Amino acid sequence: MFTPNLWRFRRLSETMPEMMNLQREMNRLFSNMGQKSPQEYPAVNIWDKKGSAVITAELPGIDPEKLDISVSGDTVTISGAANQETLAANEIYLRQERGVGSFKRNIQLPFQIDAQAVEARYEKGILAIVLPRVKEDLPKKIKIQ
């Protein structure tokens, strides 16, 4: 009964992504401990992708033309304004929960950003900015003589 079942072992590979996911969730949970929930809009998630940082933010209903992303040194600034619906004279609001107005947020990264190589995409209301590290700033391998 307690002998390892080979069939079960084969299943292990299938459960790996699930376990990784769980681990990620746990990390996320604890990394937020001790600090308050975000006070600034938009809320961001930051990812590490082969030395570049990827910032994602949920910004539904924004005109990409009016979205402004600027980079200086190690700081990236996202600013813009939500599309405001203008009602006709004979229309009345029954419920208004969606945020209106402009926003601005600075995010400081732990490295210098290569401003020339920054890419931003806005898809389905989600903004994703890829911020590569400056070449000179990348960790260098030092040869021992």
Of 38, 66, 68, 104, the one binding other proteins by CB under 8 A: 38
Q: Is 33 in the site for other proteins (CB under 8 A)?
A: no
Q: Closest Cα to residue 98, out of 40, 57, 39, 58?
A: 58
Q: Is 31 in the site for other proteins (CB under 8 A)?
A: yes
Sign of the torsion formed by the C-alpha atoms of 116, 133, 79 and 97: positive
Which window, 1-9, 46-54, 73-81, 112-120, contacts other proteins (CB under 8 A)?
Answer: 46-54
Contact 141, 85 (CB under 8 A): no
Of 69 and 128, CB closest to other proteins: 128
Q: Is 90 in the site for other proteins (CB under 8 A)?
A: yes
Q: Closest Cα to residue 71, out of 59, 57, 45, 53?
A: 53
59-88 residues near other proteins, rule: CB under 8 A = 59-62, 64, 85, 87-88
- Alpha-carbon span 16 to 77, nearest angstrom: 37
Q: Is 116 in the site for other proteins (CB under 8 A)?
A: no
Q: Closest Cα to residue 50, out of 130, 119, 141, 140?
A: 130
Roughly how many angstroms between the first and final C-alpha of the chain, as a whole number?
Answer: 59
CB of 10 to other proteins, least distance (A): 22
CB of 74 to other proteins, least distance (A): 15
- Amino acid in the structure at residue 108: Q
Q: Is 119 in the site for other proteins (CB under 8 A)?
A: no
CB of 2 to other proteins, least distance (A): 30
